[in-house]
Amino acid sequence: MENIGGFKVSSLKDKVTLITGASSGIGAGTAVLFAKLGALLALNGRDAENLAKTAKECTECGAAEPLLVPGDLTDEETVRKTVEQTIAHFGRLDVLVNSAGILAMGTIETTDLAQYDKVMNVNVRSVYHLTHMCVPYLIKTKGSIVNVSSVNGQRSFPGVLAYCMSKSAIDQFTRCIALELASKQVRANSVCPGVIITEVHKRAGLDDDQYAKFLDKCKVTHALGRPGEVEEVAHAIAFLASDAASFITGVNLPVDGGRHAMCPR
């Protein structure tokens, strides 16, 4: 930590950080940025091969070899193993970044209970369970939690009903745990990205042509006239996780090029 003109500038150096969803997208980009900032990483993701690629990018930055804990967090045993292995390896936990999530298309007419359950289990239940298991260790270090939500949690969009509901739940979860843990000096915040260039939309079913049109539409759906980059969300996560945000908790921070503030007219 250093001071520049009285302004505290802090890094995440040597902070033990567990990042979920680190095999792709925002989770992977956040892992690489935290590696550059000197964090000690435990990385979870469902795709073991891609997780290894993320780890390689981290070590190429000169960072210590991340601990890899692959697996599906909707499995309760995987959650327990993830936390146990992280603590056994590092002895503590300073930061939890809940980035694992899925996007699914569907309306109230087309979203059956199986799809609803899948989205809620990945995006909400697993986040709840992992955070519940990590909190005792975060209390010991007066650590911080950053959840990856979405502008879909703050604004209403047709055609992605279960997803919107899940992200709204994450924003409320963030505010509630921020208040519950504040007396123990554990901070909790969320980032709420707009459209970010990742593979998540294609995995949800958009083909190349549909995806190109979707990105082009960002010129009008985002005030800054473009979709966002993974690194832009990662920097917001790093700020909220760090001591630079030491007086910020319970915030759902839009990282969406102004989309949350827009209204059609």
Q: Which residues are catalytic?
A: 163
H, E, C per residue of the chain: CEEECCEEECCCCCCEEEECCCCCHHHHHHHHHHHHCCCEEEECCCCHHHHHHHHHHHHHCCCCCCEECCCCCCCHHHHHHHHHHHHHHHCCCCEEEECCCCCCCECCCCCCHHHHHHHHHHHHHHHHHHHHHHHHHHHHHCCEEEEECCHHHCCCCCCEHHHHHHHHHHHHHHHHHHHHHHHHCCEEEEEEECCECCCHHHHCCCCHHHHHHHHHHHHHHCCCCCCECHHHHHHHHHHHHCHHHCCCCCCEEEECCCHHHCCCC
